[in-house]
Structure 1
């Protein structure tokens, strides 16, 4: 199969990069996603993916973890140095620590093999929508402040005074929900989102990453507070 698998696609069809060293699975994924309305480019390695990313713009990446040479974790880490493109990681590993590692690196979702193709499509659509969909103003102001930080809900921008703080799409989604609550408690289920990230530990990973970016002492947070038995709250001004 050619690297680009296409059906009758609209000009606005999301362009997905599929990276997997397993030729059979790579071609099956490319064919299936094309049938679901995606524009697909496939790569057999991180090096090939990097070369294609230099000349093409992608709306998301489906990235296998276990690849010879540069593995999926290493490639995802390098992507996150310059890009916020949504990343869905695939792996045959069952160790939950691998999932946590992927999320710590900046992946937006994580799907273990084997998986149902329909679930892949739903998860991929969710992370693309989170990255590109309009962000709503919650009605009581576009900017929420806490300490030296300000968060512009409509734009998803976090600043410390005049400095822009880099956050991932998952961190942005969680911060938007917390900021929109304007100091009220937010249940863990509400922070899990629609992308299958309901596992409590993955939510903790995202919160801890945000704390490292906003707290003087992440172990004793002032702003991103834990509400025992409920979830979290953002202590806004």
Structure 2
């Protein structure tokens, strides 16, 4: 039974989500304070964290930043509708996805399942192909989920890892935003959803720490291309 940790000070919402997730075979632990939520998340007993931005004790963005410095755990941010800044900051700090309140419980379940599928795919051994991808100075190991650039280890979220893997597998080829969104995020590309762009931006920033070359090219309105070699 997948275990979800929900950190949100809205007790009624937590109860509603717990009841809805139970129907899909999930268990949920609710914590209503940011500092207590961070302690619970650090224990590592959950498969995914639902994290509200506005929290007493410690806000959600500060909590996410502290958590990412210690361990990786899939995190979905819960933001107020229209709070684009919070969504962007959350993705920059390493959130795997976000969902605006108020939300449809069915969409919440679908998003949770999509994230957990991404993590499961990463963790599975791929017996039909080499576990190592090496393209243009970047090496990606599918077995231990490690990525290195010019021999420097990088820390990626599950979403970033899978996006990079797909782009590297198709290096030298344009991959459309729609394909990336469906294959990795598990949903059709939406007009005002910037999460895909933010994930790619995060990957670029991490690669930039060890290479002056921008290894991912953007074709505006079309998609992204991972360069096969130096331009």
Q: What range describes the TM-score normalised by the shorter chain of this pair?
A: 0.7 to 0.9
- Separation (CA, whole Å) in 2 of partners of 1:17 and 1:178: 31
Matched residue SS, 2:194: helix
- Separation (CA, whole Å) in 2 of partners of 1:211 and 1:169: 15
- The change in CA–CA distance for 1:203 and 1:136 in structure 2 (over 3 A counts) is farther
Work out whether residues 109 and 197 of structure 1, in 8 Å CA contact, stay in contact via their aligned partners in 2.
no
Work out whether residues 81 and 102 of structure 2, in 8 Å CA contact, stay in contact via their aligned partners in 1.
no
- Separation (CA, whole Å) in 2 of partners of 1:37 and 1:51: 25
2:48 equivalent among 60, 78, 81: 60
- Separation (CA, whole Å) in 2 of partners of 1:217 and 1:200: 29
Write the deviation string for residues 24-60 of structure 1: whole angstroms up to 9, x where unpaired: 1112212221232112111011122233335451100
Give, in angstroms, the shift of residue 105 of structure 1.
1.1
1:204 equivalent among 192, 197, 208: 197
1:233 equivalent among 219, 225, 229: 225
Using structure 2 for the length normalisation, give the TM-score. 0.85
Aligned residue for 1:39? 27
- Separation (CA, whole Å) in 2 of partners of 1:25 and 1:222: 43
- Separation (CA, whole Å) in 2 of partners of 1:137 and 1:179: 16
Give, in angstroms, the shift of residue 137 of structure 1.
5.1
Write the deviation string for residues 139-165 of structure 1: whole angstroms up to 9, x where unpaired: 674433234321224544211344321
1:213 aligns with 2:206: yes
Work out whether residues 204 and 214 of structure 2, in 8 Å CA contact, stay in contact via their aligned partners in 1.
no
Matched residue SS, 1:16: strand
- The change in CA–CA distance for 1:197 and 1:170 in structure 2 (over 3 A counts) is farther
2:160 equivalent among 145, 163, 171: 171
Matched residue SS, 2:56: coil
- The change in CA–CA distance for 1:128 and 1:87 in structure 2 (over 3 A counts) is same
Tell me, which stretches of 5 or more residues in structure 1 are unaligned? Answer: 1-12
- The change in CA–CA distance for 1:140 and 1:28 in structure 2 (over 3 A counts) is closer
Aligned residue for 2:170? 181
Matched residue SS, 1:133: helix
Give, in angstroms, the shift of residue 210 of structure 1.
1.2
Using structure 1 for the length normalisation, give the TM-score. 0.83
- Separation (CA, whole Å) in 1 of partners of 2:187 and 2:82: 16
Tell me, which stretches of 5 or more residues in structure 2 are unaligned? Answer: none
Moved more, 103-112 or 41-50: 41-50
Give, in angstroms, the shift of residue 118 of structure 1.
0.7
1:145 aligns with 2:134: yes
